[in-house]
């Protein structure tokens, strides 16, 4: 599963609507639980372990891509 698919599954946000500047917690379907599950799914799919600072920096879709890229992943 790629990032766009994880976002779609976690927040019911269609891939066409996934702009880099979208702040995750502004999505209507966002809540603490969906966010927790989203982070878990990203870790699992990209075989990565985020640090607390990674999590704090991942506010927008673009931020998440940047963290993944910084960890050597392709998005």
Partner 1 sequence: MSIAIMQPYVFPYVGYFQLIHASGTFVFYDDVNYINKGWINRNRILLNNKDQLFTIPCKEASQNKLIKDVEVLQDPKSINKILLTIQPAYKKAPFYNKVFPLIEEILTLSDGLTISQMAISCVKNICNYLGMNRQFIISSEKYTNQELKKADRLIDICHIEGISDYINAAGGKEIYTKEYFNAGNVNLSFLIPKRCEYIQFGATFVPWLSILDILMFNSKEDIMNKILPSYHID
Using alpha carbons, select from 26, 19, 23, 31 the residue that is nearest to residue 10.
Answer: 31
Minimum distance of partner 1 from residue 61's CB (angstroms): 13
User: Is residue 73 close enough to count as binding partner 1 by CB under 8 A?
Assistant: no
Window 17-56: contact mask with partner 1 (x via CB under 8 A): -------xx--xxxxxxxxxxxxxx-xx----xxxxx-xx
Q: Which residues bind partner 1 (CB under 8 A)?
A: 12, 24-25, 28-41, 43-44, 49-53, 55-56, 58
């Amino acid at each position: 599963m790629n990032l766009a698919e994880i976002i779609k599954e976690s927040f019911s946000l269609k891939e066409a609507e996934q702009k880099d500047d979208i702040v995750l917690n502004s999505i209507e379907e966002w809540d603490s639980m969906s966010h927790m599950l989203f982070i878990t799914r990203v870790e699992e799919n990209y075989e990565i372990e985020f640090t607390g600072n990674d999590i704090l920096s991942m506010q927008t879709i673009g931020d998440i891509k940047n963290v993944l890229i910084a960890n050597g992943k392709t998005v």
